[in-house]
Amino acid sequence: MKIVIVDDEKAMHLIMRRMLGKIEEVEVVGSFLETMSAYSFVENHEVDLVLVDISMPRESGIEFAQRLRERGEHMKIVFVTSHKEYALSAFDVYAYDYIVKPLTQDRLLRTIQRALTEQSNEGTQMDRRSVTLAAGPVETKYDFERTNLAQQELRTDLMENWPDWIEGGDLTNKPGYQKLNDANQLMNSPEHMEFHLAKDTGDALQVLVDPLTNRETEILLALAEGLSNKEIADRFLLTEGTVKNHLYNLYSKLSVKRRAQAIKRARELRILR
């Protein structure tokens, strides 16, 4: 797992590097004292998780995370801060976790282990898809309603109980999280996978777990043209927030994290030429 540290205190860099050095399967690929350099790095490198402070000069960690989300970046963002009061704002930019300083080895370890487990599960899911595709497409059913409901319940549960969450409590013991975990297991089970097959010019089959909607296809084409979120919103008379939601779904369906990867994957599947 490739990790980036963003904090304006040099001492925190040393502390987090020492703690992360005790955890297997992680690599600190970048450390930054401010967000501008960090943003430029993330644009051009593969990053799985960002550990970021909130109170920093020029741009806060929340604003930094918002810029990443607006660009369509879907790496995990973990806030490590002295401020408890920004927890709900952090959740609005899809924070993976929110840790209040002083940071402890045990607290950081729980977060990283959870992220590593999810990353491993994602890899297993992709391997299973490859095996299934080699054997031929299958006709099964995927329960989106149950998954979406679980995600909504998780958000509601965290918003109602966020003081416990940010005081170092383990997110995985929340009822809503268990429902989401159950739904994710349902998502990854072969009996709930539905493959979408389509031909481009007749010489290859495209295979997606969930087919792109017409709007998602339009936005994908706009990405290939190099349009920004705002330009896409203007073209289709949407809000930027709606565009972000479509991008989130689009990236999830293509199993990618950023624009360039989405375009590359779409070409591999011959959705784009």
- What is the predicted pLDDT for the residue at 5? 97
- Assess whether pLDDT exceeds 90 at residue 155: no
Six-digit token string for 191? 């009996």
Residue scoring higher pLDDT (190 or 262): 262
Q: How far is CA 258 from CA 10, 169, 209, 263, in A?
A: 29, 31, 18, 9
Q: What is the CA radius of gyration of the chain?
A: 19
DSSP state of 191: G
Give SS3 for 195: coil
Residue scoring higher pLDDT (34 or 126): 34
- What is the predicted pLDDT for the residue at 73? 82
- What is the predicted pLDDT for the residue at 148? 45
Q: How far apart are CA 233 and CA 3, in angstroms?
A: 31
Average pLDDT of the residues in 214-238: 87
pLDDT band of 235, cuts 50, 70, 90: confident
Note the pLDDT tens digit of each residue in 71-87. Answer: 888 889 999 999 888 88
Give me the domains of the chain, ranges plus CATH numbers. 2-103 (3.40.50.2300), 143-193 (no CATH), 196-268 (1.10.10.10)
- What is the predicted pLDDT for the residue at 267? 86
Q: Which of 85, 196, 180 is nearest to 133 (CA)?
A: 196
Percent residues over pLDDT 70 in the chain: 68
Find the DSSP H helices in 21-169: 35-44, 61-70, 87-92, 105-135, 144-166
Average pLDDT of the residues in 206-232: 82
Q: How far apart are CA 106 and CA 270, in angstroms?
A: 46
271, 206 Cβ separation under 8 angstroms: yes
Q: How far is CA 259 from CA 14, 70, 248, in A?
A: 32, 11, 11
- What is the predicted pLDDT for the residue at 31? 95
- Assess whether pLDDT exceeds 80 at residue 220: yes
Lowest-pLDDT range of 1-5, 29-33, 179-183: 179-183
- What is the predicted pLDDT for the residue at 271? 83
- What is the predicted pLDDT for the residue at 209? 64
Lowest-pLDDT range of 41-45, 179-183, 189-193, 238-242: 189-193
- What is the predicted pLDDT for the residue at 110? 93
Q: How far is CA 48 from CA 118, 228, 230, 256, in A?
A: 11, 23, 26, 11
- What is the predicted pLDDT for the residue at 85? 86
- What is the predicted pLDDT for the residue at 4? 97
Note the pLDDT tens digit of each residue in 96-132. Answer: 999 998 999 999 999 999 999 888 876 555 554 444 4
Note the pLDDT tens digit of each residue in 187-204. Answer: 344 443 333 323 343 333
Q: Ranked by mean pLDDT, which of 51-60, 188-197, 251-260 comes out on top?
A: 51-60
pTM: 0.54
Residue scoring higher pLDDT (64 or 147): 64
- What is the predicted pLDDT for the residue at 147? 41
- pLDDT, mean over the chain: 75
- What is the predicted pLDDT for the residue at 58? 87
